[in-house]
Amino acid sequence: MIEETSKENIEIRVQMASEAYQFLKSTTIKQRAVFMNAVADKIEALGEELLTTAHAETSLPQTRLTGEKARTIGQWRSYAKAVASGIYIEPRIDLPQPEKQKGDLRKYNIGLGSVVVFGASNFPFAFSTAGGDTASAIGAGCPVIVKAHPAHPKTSQMMADAITNAVKEFGWPEGIFSHITGTSYETGVYLAQHKDIHAVAFTGSYSGGKALFDIANRRENPIPVFAEMGSINPVFALQHLMENKAEVLAKEYISSLTLGVGQFCTNPGVFIAVKGPSLDRFISALKNEIHEIIPANMLHNGIYENFAKHTSNAISQPGIEVIATTEAEEGKGNATIIKTNAQSFLNNPVLSEEVFGPFGIIVTCESKEELIQIAQNLKGQLTITVAATSDDVHENAELIHLLKDKCGRLLFNGIPTGVEVVYAMQHGGPFPSTTDSRFTSVGPDAVKRFVRPISFQNWPDEFLPEELKNENPLQISRIVDGEVNVKSLKLETV
């Protein structure tokens, strides 16, 4: 039984967060980076008990959890390094000039305020309580209130304790981080509506993310909701590559589709290609490959039931042929591939909805024109993969340009599952894959979501934040009078 945090307790936590926000405004980027590295150390110190607990709650294998723990630690440390460098505060200084009426102007980014983070079920470490949303918000200077995911409460509590212990050791206000539990829908609504909450981060279903987005926009003071809500991550397989590598591509596709029992937001749920002998070879190879897949338990019963329901619904649609499936026990992900034609896919919105799990649709096209028609009608995606040779790209320039408008990450061959925590990663795409395609939830650039600019005009140097002082005590790169500058500013008057 998961304890439901009372509204009275939540209210206290929100007020504590508001007070902590005032404290965080007095910290420098260097101080926050030191804190973030301390949290990474705390998580790293969590021993075998963390992995055993997460395995028991999620059915994820120990090897996967070990890797995800390392990724989570790496997120805190890489984000800390990025925060300390000052790139997300974007310091700008325009010094007074005789022709300027406004005098001295200095600008940088500060944290938005208290942030609510909703933990995700499919990544109990990297996208949950101590995941990238929490790390990037704190790095930006924002207190965090985590609404723990009920699918792994003990794991969530252990990660929360690691952050809380770091807060205590630093002597920082308790409201820097709060951990709220429960299964009530009303709790999420209450937090998203609260006047002292200034942003929301969410990873999960379209219905959940869109509901939070709508609530936040109906407020008297609307706030941003950074929701990652799902994606079918289509693969467009072009002719020359299909002719040369149909069997190899089938192996890669089924591997990506069923990775983690299909419980990644980047699993390629739709495969699109022009009809012909090479596509026939691809489908034949898929039938062979799928029998090598060993069904495994899904994360929790709710995900399994939704997977079974949506799979059954897709199969029941007109114009559908089941290509291959595995036999699975109750509660295990039964890998399934179906086939339809381009016009059925275009005319039936059910077929372009995400099925969270090891489920794929092969869409057969009569021509390149139908490939383009599907691209034109695609909704926003996290990823789109172009399986192609160089000749394919030259011959399909119109298609490639269209696909750039539809996704956050465009792959040339390769598989979309697996998201590197690096600066150049974009994990976010046009609606409805996310609510704001300008931002990423993976990589150090995730910090950008939780800051806003503020400009100081004609303030004495002693009252300016450290990041904008003449002496540049933090030794960060700044734009001074339009030029990159890391030096101290030797000014007689400011």
Say whether 228 is catalytic.
yes
Task: Give the angle 299-165-204 at the CA atoms, nearest 5°.
Answer: 25
Q: Three-class SS of residue 71?
A: helix
Q: Where are the alpha helices (DSSP H) in 151-238?
A: 153-170, 185-193, 206-218
What's the pLDDT tens digit per position in 180-239? 999 888 999 999 999 999 999 999 999 999 999 999 999 999 999 999 998 999 999 999
Residues 241 and 221 placed together within one structural domain of the fold: no
Q: Are 241 and 251 in contact (CB under 8 A)?
A: no
Cis peptide before 432 (omega within 30 of 0): yes
Among residues 71, 378, 38, the alpha carbon closest in space to that of 231 is found at 378
Residues 206 and 249 placed together within one structural domain of the fold: no
Q: How confident is the model at residue 99 (pLDDT cuts 50, 70, 90)?
A: confident
Q: Is residue 476 part of a domain?
A: no
Among residues 430, 467, 120, the alpha carbon closest in space to that of 265 is found at 120
User: What pLDDT was estimated at residue 408?
Assistant: 98
Determine phi and psi for 39, rounding to 5 degrees.
Answer: -65, -40
User: What pLDDT was estimated at residue 291?
Assistant: 86
Exposure string of 449-463, with b = 16+ CB inside 10 Å and e = fewer, is bbbeeeeeeebeeee
Residues 399 and 336 placed together within one structural domain of the fold: yes
The string of DSSP codes covering 346-365 is HH-GGGGS---SSEEEEEEE
Task: Give the angle 162-164-167 at the CA atoms, nearest 5°.
Answer: 115
Residues 306 and 238 placed together within one structural domain of the fold: yes
Q: Is residue 460 part of a domain?
A: no
Q: In what order do the strands lie in the sheet with 115-118?
A: 177-180, 144-147, 115-118, 199-203, 225-228
The string of DSSP codes covering 191-203 is HHH-TT--EEEEE
Give the active site residue among 57, 228, 354, 370.
Answer: 228
Residues 268 and 128 placed together within one structural domain of the fold: no
Strand-pair category, 321-325 with 270-274: unpaired
Sign of the C-alpha dihedral computed for residues 295, 310, 407 and 433 taken in this order: negative
Residues 196 and 264 placed together within one structural domain of the fold: no
User: In the predicted model, what is the mean pLDDT of the chain?
Assistant: 95
Kindly give, in sequence order, each residue whose CB lies less than 8 Å from that of residue 32, ignoring residues fewer than 6 positions away. Answer: 24, 80, 83, 84, 138, 139, 141
Cα gap 87→348, rounded to integer Å: 45
Residues 244 and 262 placed together within one structural domain of the fold: yes
Kindly give, in sequence order, each residue whose CB lies less than 8 Å from that of residue 370, ignoring residues fewer than 6 positions away. Answer: 274, 342, 343
Determine phi and psi for 96, rounding to 5 degrees.
Answer: -65, 135
Range of the domain at 157: 7-229+437-451
What DSSP character marks residue 322? E
Q: Is residue 222 part of a domain?
A: yes
Please report, for residues 300, 308, 317, the alpha-carbon distance to residue 314 in angstroms, rounded to integers and kept in the order given. 21, 10, 6
Residues 18 and 64 placed together within one structural domain of the fold: yes
Cα of 361 vs its chain's centroid, Å: 24
Q: How many domains does the chain have?
A: 2
Residues 262 and 165 placed together within one structural domain of the fold: no
Cα of 43 vs its chain's centroid, Å: 20
How many separate helices (H) and strands (E) can be counted in the chain?
A: 15, 17
Q: Is residue 171 part of a domain?
A: yes
What's the pLDDT tens digit per position in 103-158? 999 999 999 999 999 999 999 999 999 999 999 999 999 999 999 999 999 999 99
The CATH number of whichever domain residue 57 belongs to comes to: 3.40.605.10
Give the pair of three-digit tokens for residue 234: 């289509």
Residues 267 and 123 placed together within one structural domain of the fold: no
Amino acid at 202: F
User: What pLDDT was estimated at residue 234?
Assistant: 98
100 pLDDT above the threshold of 80? no
Residues 244 and 381 placed together within one structural domain of the fold: yes
Strand-pair category, 105-111 with 451-457: antiparallel
Say whether 142 is catalytic.
no
Cα gap 430→405, rounded to integer Å: 8
Rounded mean pLDDT, 440-457: 98
H or E, element range at 385: strand 381-387
Give the active site residue among 142, 265, 365, 407.
Answer: 265
Cα gap 34→84, rounded to integer Å: 9
173 pLDDT above the threshold of 90? yes
Q: Count CB neighbours of 325 within 10 A.
A: 18
Q: Is residue 468 part of a domain?
A: no
Task: Give the angle 282-411-322 at the CA atoms, nearest 5°.
Answer: 30
User: What pLDDT was estimated at residue 331?
Assistant: 74
Sign of the C-alpha dihedral computed for residues 4, 179, 422 and 113 taken in this order: positive
* pTM, to two decimals: 0.94
pLDDT > 90: percent of the chain? 90
Q: Is residue 246 part of a domain?
A: yes
Q: Tell me the HSE value of 40 on the side-chain side, using a 13 A CA sphere.
A: 23
Residues 251 and 185 placed together within one structural domain of the fold: no
User: What pLDDT was estimated at residue 1?
Assistant: 65
Rounded mean pLDDT, 316-328: 91
User: What pLDDT was estimated at residue 494?
Assistant: 40
Determine phi and psi for 415, rounding to 5 degrees.
Answer: -120, 145
Q: Is residue 188 part of a domain?
A: yes
Q: Is residue 483 part of a domain?
A: no
